[in-house]
Amino acid sequence: MPSEHAATVAHAMYTLVWFRQNLRIRDNAALCAAVAEGSPIIGIWIEDTETGNLHRTAFYRQSAAELAQVLAGHGIPLYTAASSSELVRLAAGSSVRTVIADASCTFAEKLADNALWHELDKHGIRLTFVNDRSVFDQTDLTPDNGTAHTDFNRYRKAWCDRFSKHPPADSDIFATYRQPFPENLSAPQTAALSDGIFPIRRGGSSAAWKQWQTFLKQADFYDVLKDFPSRKHTSLMSAYLNAGCLSPRLLAREGIGYRLDSWTDNLIRRDFFLQLALQHADDAPSDGNPENTRYLSLWQQGQTGIPIIDASMRCLYKTGGLHPVLRRLCADFLCHTLRVPRHEGEAWFARLLTDFDAAINQGNWRLAASRHTYPDIAAAAHKTDPDGTFVRRHIPELAHLPAAVIHTPWRAAGSIDTHGYPAHPVAGIP
């Protein structure tokens, strides 16, 4: 029996949902807004290959492929495109009245959205945006002066106050939606799933919720073990959140409901970076010393002579992922020890991280470059990887070394064999 929300393809006009970083159907504000339009729905996903990030591309392809199957069950075709111009051609040639997308966060994205708006407007097609990337919309927590919070502690207080009084609703308007699959449109072609790169974690909403349930089983130990990379006790949800495989609004309710306070702080900081992105133009920063970029390739290749840094960078290159503690350590080392401009590290992470999000990546690197204090690298290494397990996992040249030596092999130079690993740190650390 047809749902009360069902639409018929006999209507002359369509609503096009442009999926970007909201590759899901549950609590999808764009889909719910499309249902409210009252016209039959079609979908499109544009593959972003500009960063050359193969791990992220493979993850998004898997997520989009699963989304296409689920949407087909609701009678909605999902088209794959290589550029926004293809979106315009599809919209103009398919009697689309409105295009709905998840709102972007950075200046570069906003400029591209504005250009697309002009192109669609030439065809009389409306372009609208909804918040699907963060728990609260960017304007929800704006102070009275109209300027976004720049202090995280104040933002966190405002976020928690609003959540306690006005938690974001979980819209279920799409849950029962069905429409006949459009027969008057060309069948969508499925994107290739792989170019030989397979992400460490499988993309898609099913895998996302499975990973969340796995995390909940060990969440009682999160506060104790979250800062030890070799123990793998983080939630591993960032890639799913940034691709939109699950709703940040739903996860916020889960985190608060299970009293995962420190984990929820990470979700709040994610919102903080998303709303802060528009306060900074995407210009090249002046921090760092451009002459020190000669150190950049050593940092990228994991050949600085600092085992914890090199193991981290090799892990990032191989897997597309890196523990949050090690991301901060590598960023601090590049910005403050090697004195390399932060935009170099920002671009490298953009190229490699499976969970790359432009606004969050930008926020983390700005924070790293602005820090006035940063940890002693040897002390930090012993604290985060006390028995050397993480270093041995990613630097086989040092796998034979005991815990007392593995983080500072240069101090035992001449008495140990490092099998070709740099004998001394690039930065002359004592």
100-110 pLDDT, tens per residue?
999 999 998 99
pLDDT score of 335 = 93
Average pLDDT over residues 120-140: 94
SS3 annotation, the chain: CCCCCCCCCCCCCEEEEEECCCCCCCCCHHHHHHHHHCCCEEEEEECCCCCCCHHHHHHHHHHHHHHHHHHHCCCCCEEEECCHHHHHHHHHHCCEEEEEEECCCCHHHHHHHHHHHHHHHCCCCEEEEECCCCCCCCCCCCCCCCCCCCCHHHHHHHHHHHHHHCCCCCCCCCCCCCCCCCCCCCCCCCCCCCCCCCCCCCCCHHHHHHHHHHHHHHHHHHHHHCCCHHHCCCCCCHHHHHHCCCCHHHHHHHHHHCCCHHHHHHHHHHHHHHHHHHHCCCCCCCCCCHHHHHHHHHHHHCCCCCHHHHHHHHHHHHHCCCCHHHHHHHHHHHHHHCCCCHHHHHHHHHHHCCCCCHHHHHHHHHHHHHCCCCCCHHHHHHHHCCCCHHHHHHCHHHCCCCHHHHCCHHHHECCECCCCCCCCCCCCCC
Let me know if domain 14-132 sits in CATH 3.40.50.620: yes
Reported as a pLDDT band with limits 50, 70 and 90, residue 389 is very high
Average pLDDT, the chain: 90
Q: Is the pLDDT of residue 362 over 80?
A: yes
Structure tokens at 241: 């959140």
Burial (CB count <10 Å: 0-12, 13-18, 19+), residue 45: buried
Q: Is the pLDDT of residue 233 over 60?
A: yes
Reported as a pLDDT band with limits 50, 70 and 90, residue 8 is very low
CA distance 158 to 140: 10
Instruction: Out of 10-14, 21-25, 220-224, 250-254, pick the least confident.
Output: 10-14
Q: Taking the CA of residue 386 as centre, how many other CA atoms within 13 Å lie in the half-sphere pointing to its CB?
A: 5
Average pLDDT over residues 133-146: 83
Q: How many percent of the chain have pLDDT more than 70?
A: 92
Binding-site residue ranges: 222, 234-238, 263, 355-357
Reported as a pLDDT band with limits 50, 70 and 90, residue 141 is confident
- Any idea of the CA torsion for 316, 317, 318, 324, to the nearest 10 degrees? 10
pLDDT score of 284 = 55
What are the residue boundaries of the structural domains of the chain, listed by start? 14-132, 134-168+204-280, 290-411
- Its CATH class, for the domain covering 290-411, is mainly alpha
pLDDT score of 285 = 58
pLDDT score of 345 = 96
pLDDT score of 10 = 44
155-205 pLDDT, tens per residue?
999 999 999 999 888 777 898 999 999 988 888 876 555 555 666 779 999
Topology of the domain covering 134-168+204-280 = 1.25.40
Q: Is the pLDDT of residue 129 over 90?
A: yes
pLDDT score of 184 = 85
Binding-site residue ranges for FAD: 222, 234-238, 263, 355-357
Average pLDDT over residues 50-77: 93
pLDDT score of 320 = 95
Q: Is the pLDDT of residue 111 over 50?
A: yes
Average pLDDT over residues 372-390: 92
